[in-house]
Structure 1
Amino acid sequence: MTIKLSLQQQQTIECSADIYRIMRPVFMRRNRLQRCQECLWVIGVTSSGHVKFVELVALGTLNRVAANAGDVFRTALLKGISRLILVHNHPCGNSSPSFADRQFTDNMKKAGILLGIQLLDHIVLTESDYLSFADEGLL
């Protein structure tokens, strides 16, 4: 499902804080019950850093969301985008990535290399905080 962004949200991404500023309102649009399930979004970014799309690619449970490379890279391939950012939420309020989060990110990075699509970052967000894999040296 493609997420409609305001003009302000269709900005140039220069750092992880920019991603959080875009995605927190998207996440907070969901009602409280919906925010209790993990979701995975993909942000397509142009070579100049402009947000081209935000796509909700998977809905999960309270503590897990599952997606495969086809889910993650489909829209980028169709739209000719060569740079992606992954974003998913942790309903528990703890932005620390799990082992499964790290493994998934590593797998998507490898898949992106094969497809010629660069994974720029993976953001784990909560209602009040976020963690950037790129900032933490985990990517």
Structure 2
Amino acid sequence: MTIRLPKDEDKHISGTDDIARIMLKILWRQNKIHRKKEYFWTVGLNTANDIDYIELVTIGTSNRNIAEPVDILSLPVSKKCKKIILCHNHPSGKLEPSEQDILFTERITKAAAILGIEVLDHLIITENNYVTIDL
């Protein structure tokens, strides 16, 4: 599902703070009950680091989200997007990446590289803050 960029946001991404601010606004669009689920998004960027799309890939449970490389990489491949940012929320409010988060990031980064797609970042957001998973 393609997500609309918040109206007050520029499409150009200068760094992690820009994408985190946008993704926090997108998370806050959900009502409080729905924010208790784990969401996984991809953000596709063009070569000038402008947002081409934001896609909601999956909605999980309160502590789990199942996404496969094909789910995550099908839209960037179809749009011939060369750069993506991964983002998911932790409804628990804990920012520390789990071992599964780290392994998943490594798996997606390798799969994307085979397709010529660069994973620039993987953000974990809560309702108020964010961290990145080291690539």
The TM tier, using the shorter chain, reads over 0.9
- The number of aligned residues is 135
Residue of structure 1 equivalent to 2:20: 20
CA contact (8 A) 2:6 2:26 kept: no
Report SS of the residue matched to 1:88. strand
Can you give the 5+ residue segments of structure 1 that lack an aligned partner in the other structure? none
Provide the rounded CA distance (Å) in 2 between the counterparts of 1:129 and 1:78. Answer: 32
Residue 126 of structure 1 and its aligned partner are, at CA, apart by 0.3
Report SS of the residue matched to 2:27. helix
After TM superposition, list the pairs within 5 Å mapping 1:29-108 onto structure 2: 29-108=29-108
Instruction: Give structure 1 regions of 4+ aligned residues with deviation exceeding 6 angstroms.
Output: none
Normalising by structure 2, report the TM-score.
0.96
Report SS of the residue matched to 2:76. helix
The amino acid across from 2:84 in the alignment is L
Provide the rounded CA distance (Å) in 2 between the counterparts of 1:35 and 1:14. Answer: 27
Report SS of the residue matched to 2:72. helix
Provide the rounded CA distance (Å) in 1 between the counterparts of 2:123 and 2:84. Answer: 11
Residue of structure 2 equivalent to 1:119: 119
Report SS of the residue matched to 1:67. coil
The amino acid across from 2:4 in the alignment is K
Q: Which moved more, 1:109-118 or 1:2-11?
A: 2-11
Normalising by structure 1, report the TM-score.
0.93
Residue 12 of structure 1 and its aligned partner are, at CA, apart by 1.3
Report SS of the residue matched to 1:40. strand
Residue 11 of structure 1 and its aligned partner are, at CA, apart by 2.1
**Identity percentage over the alignment?**
37
Provide the rounded CA distance (Å) in 1 between the counterparts of 2:118 and 2:10. Answer: 20
